[in-house]
Structure 1
Amino acid sequence: MGLLGVGGMGEVYRARDPRLQRDVALKIVHPSLTTTPEHIDRFSREARAAGSLHHPNILVVFDVGVENGMPYVISELLEGESLRDRLDRGPVPYRKALDYGIQMAQALGAAHAKGIWHRDVKPANTFITTDGRIKLLDFGLAKLSERLSDSPSDETTADASRPGMIRGTAGYMSPEQARAERVDQRTDLFSLGAILYEMFTSTRAFQRASTVETLHAVLREEPADPLEINPSLPLAAAVTVRRCLEKSVDERFQSARDLAFQLQQLRDGTLAGRLTTASAASWRRRALLAAMLAVAAVGVAWAIGQFPRRSPSFEQLTFRRGRIGGARFASEGQAVVYSEAGDRNHRGVWRLDPSEGPKSRELPRYAGAEVLATRRGELALSLDRRFVGGKHFVGRLATAPLDGDGRPREVRTDVENADWDPAGKELATIVTTGPGGAESRLEYPPGHVLHVARSIQWPRFSPDGQRIAFLEDTTGPGIVGRVAVVDLEGNFTPLTEVWRSARGLAWSPSGDEVWFTAGGWWMDRALHAVDLRGRQRLVLSAPTSLTL
């Protein structure tokens, strides 16, 4: 009756079932994918297995067969759109994303209970009907695809009915799939985690410029912190996604039913409720630390200046819930200038002077900017920041009056971070260029390259101006990292091992230590110090993750 669509494995038609007088979907598999009796037998066996599943969130298969050597599947006809199409149209509301995730997890739970692993869960294989129901498609059909695609799209990459053969879709397959190892139900939970990440952030977790780079990211790299991309995302939702995306299968959810239950708690608010009511005193500290990162970003910086060898103390400076970005002291005193993303992801620049009271003052001319550095009477800002290659926040570097009474003056483009030298004369900049932000350059003065790496973050001048400390990630995303220094002649010295999660860095006033926040993952970063001989010490740990 009409062609509905064409994919990498075949064509789908609207057809009419004359016996039951109903419209159905007829999928005909490309002959090139069924060139041997083995392929045909495998297709028929797996299609029948999918047809044995009876669940409201799984496509109903009415019949399978082979006609003149060409396999076909007859299934229910769906009206609506794929989740891929929905994501391409724009962000999915948080509660709607939870609802979709619950339905997908329940469908996978029903399949797993019968020993069937989907192994190609992705937005293109997820359908949203006009009444809002989720339908999982193509159980087992992806095994027919034989070739590895070089496109970073949703195309299935290869076949694997046995170890040693890669199958799945590069941006959504699990690490064990990418290594062509045997898989179980937990591989589907990783794929669902990648979908949840994309629904929560409107950003693909592992997409890179090519299939090879994407597979490397799945195996070796961590996705960007979802709270960095979407500060309004509840902390418990970010933790749930992070658990789905663990590289080790033993650290993920162990069943789809457990994941569905977790998502239901998020939807109903019971999980978040437990996080805010249990153990009042300790959880109050956790909530304050998690919500008010200015306590770590500014209070610790103050402690470094006053007590370089003592345990730091904290002073809460802000009282609104939001994501604190750059936070730097104004040069003329104890005033603090910081960027904050609050409701509806609105980012603004604020100034707080404790001598004038506890209320911050927004600098409206700098709306949307991120604070990078300060010097006497002036700010360095990042304007129009964009998320490049699933890795870096890059924008236009600009300077502006510290009091907010003036418009930003653009200095250069493609800058990720910056810091003024102690004299306040020149900026050291991190310039990120190349396909997908593939190269970061530390420049000082502008145009003079001191160091090049896949990712360089948080450049900070030593008090004597002779060295610049930074976090280096040789894998690219700027999530894992090690502390390193480079002098003004370009002599590079790594000081620490690579940490799985590293964010934030500052020098002690004497210049003999670099303080940094790092941990085993982004929810357990603690405050550490390292001297120029590489000797490390733990400065402070807390009930939640710290960011300097």
Structure 2
Amino acid sequence: MPLSAGARFGPYEIRAPLGAGGMGEVYRARDTRLGRDVALKILPPELAEDPSRRARFEQEARAVAALNHPNIVAVFDVGDGYMVSELVEGEPLRASHPGLRKTLDLAGQIASGLAAAHAAGIVHRDLKPENVLVTKDGRAKILDFGLARIRRNAAVASGQTETATVKTEPGTVMGTVGYMSPEQVRGLEADHRSDIFSFGVMLHEMLAGTRPFLGETSVETMMAILKQDAPDLPGSVPETVRTIVEHCLEKEPANRFQSAKDLGFALAQSTSRSDSAPVLAARPGNRRRAALAAALMVLSAAATWWLSHGTPATQWTAVELGGPEIALSPRLSPDGHVLAMLAMVDGNTQVAVMKPETGSWNVLTHSRDQGMVTHLSWSQDGASIYYSRLTDVPQGVFSVPFLGGEEHLVLENAANPAVLQDGTVVLSRLNGQNHPQLFRFWPETGKLQELPVQPDDMRDHQVSRDGRHAVVTGAIYGKAGKSSLIEVDLLRATARVIPTPELDWLTFAGMALSPDGRSVLMSARSNTLSRVIRVPLDGGARPQDLFRVTSTIWGLDAAADGSVLANLVDRPTELVSFPATGGPAVKIAGFRETPEWDMVVALPDGRAVTPVEVAGLTRLIAVAPGKTPSPLIQTPEATTSPVTAVGADRIAFLIGPEPHDTIAIANTSNGRIGMRIAPGKGMIESLAASPDGGTLYFGAGGSIWSVASSGGEGRRICPGSWVVTAPWGGLIVARTEIAQIRLFELPAGGGPERAIPVNRTSPLLSLFITPGTIRADRRMLVSLNVADSWFNPLALLDLDSGKVTRIAGDGVSDLHSGAWSRDGRILASRKGMQGTIWRFTPEVR
């Protein structure tokens, strides 16, 4: 029965009704104890009289009450069938009609409130304009956290949105039709990323005036959410905002913003720049891709100009340079007038040069039978460009004249050159112990000088213009540990680690030495953004953020005018299935961001497991056809490859931060970790299990080891880095030798080895020799490092004859890892490539 003005409800005096609905009646009331007006919600009898539902409601209300955030309506009291909250003087978001800037400001406030709730483990599940109030002073307030979990069917009044509870086989669909996420429509478990989808629907409606997913019935609307893309936003909406909305509205949760905090950051940058967006110039004839890349950028308005001793910059402008469709690894000539780069030509990288002012470019190298080109370096006089060629192992360091001519082999079986002023070259090569080491090479005499560094070769070596110092990433030779930033004194042949404790948790990608040699620029992935950071080499100042983008940055270079050249790369990955004989691939799932080691493993229950980047951490994601991908392991820690099935119902993987030296074993049915094994052998490169699951095999420290899956001490089996178990119980071991990768077959416990005579015309890609790849007929799935392509195709290797037969590869994407599914098809991860070069210029006040 409705309460009238003046009635008492405990210590609350009713002032006036505010509204009524399926969740009960809401009143404006006076808290007579504290002398303040509040909103009093009295639950309907059928809900208040259900003990389990009432207890759940009270538990969630108390959880929200613990939040103290300006964008969440505060809960003051909760009791037997009622809840008391902050009284907001304002109007529902649907009734407000703000302009673009205010819309983005309100959206950022809502994202901030969501981030606070999600951090406390609370998911809204019914985010919509009716559940957001806007105060008279312009503050957004989110209502009704957690109520969607227990909401019954609400009466649908004319002009109101419909709240539906629809029973389905997998579970219960709960939420408001039109604002549901795809996983809610399917009745699946909805985590915080469901709120991000609903937020995207709401923001799209705020910008366009209508909901993106509409149907004449609730069912039609739900089908639109599952199957249709959102319509284009009006042309007045900036590209950066369009992409934020699109990112929120990804059908698969793993492809959306992975946290409301990251979403809020992106919105904050768009808001701060809505009147003066980044200057983004596209080359003629390719406006669509340039617009897409521009939209993906999120520039830090708080950036500083690293060449101006900390002078504050108002913004960084970004201009896309010309060049090929896929351009990588920018390297400016010593005079700064010409840009060298890697150009993707017919599926393989070649050396190319370009005039940045005009965008005109031409290719200098043309060989397709010596491997891909990597790691560019100019000679100090600008006459030649040095580079590496790579297949499964380094083929050598080469040079080519800038004005054109034949390629010249400088040193075989070497990589990653950096040319000094005197013509000597700092490079990487395997030493006599078959370990990578840094060397200085004199081309005229052939002299090689060892330098005390074990490089990781993931970033270009950098040398100062005076030839006294080099900066590389790796480890001091003979000292194991995480890859670090290292300065090499080339006169004394000594090295030291540059301490960067503030950055130890980051994984770096690109690197460039400043023109004055006093600092190094590094790009690092941080959550869903890439940061460009200035690191002083003398340790006299803290590392300094310059700008951030949403794409991964592979390569950097620093110009004398203070601008930064950045290679923006996106590698969308799909999990696909195709017949063993080749043929069209069927997409199972897609992920915007996966680690470079994109392994796929087939579980006995039919699911596939692959590592995916989620909110800055690598997590193992389980994928089943027709279902939304979801995290497999119940832990907040990073879970990553290598990974292997262990028996019928367990999985082994690496857990925790780098250097990835700890194995965890979890139950595949509930994701609970039952065992951790820290063998103490260094970083683990490969992982496999015996057919019965009783023994694990792993590669670490240049050896293959075994350990019981129940724990214990590791036992060395043989030299090697990668190991796979065969269905008959034997092992296949891979070793990197001076000029090739070789495979050996041996018993599981060690013993006599048989070399597998691999066809050398199809070198193997050792990093992706993974579990589940061998059939009973002794055919093994392998990824190839072919000489004629930058991309890696998938092939079948006959373990008896060594014959290699390509079965899949499209020339525009990598097929790194394959596994046999239960139906005899091949599961594989297919990683695409998008690469552009941009010039970022600081504008200083």
TM-score normalized by structure 2? 0.32
Greater fraction helix: 1
Greater fraction strand: 2
Which protein is bigger by CA-based radius of gyration? 2
TM-score normalized by structure 1? 0.48
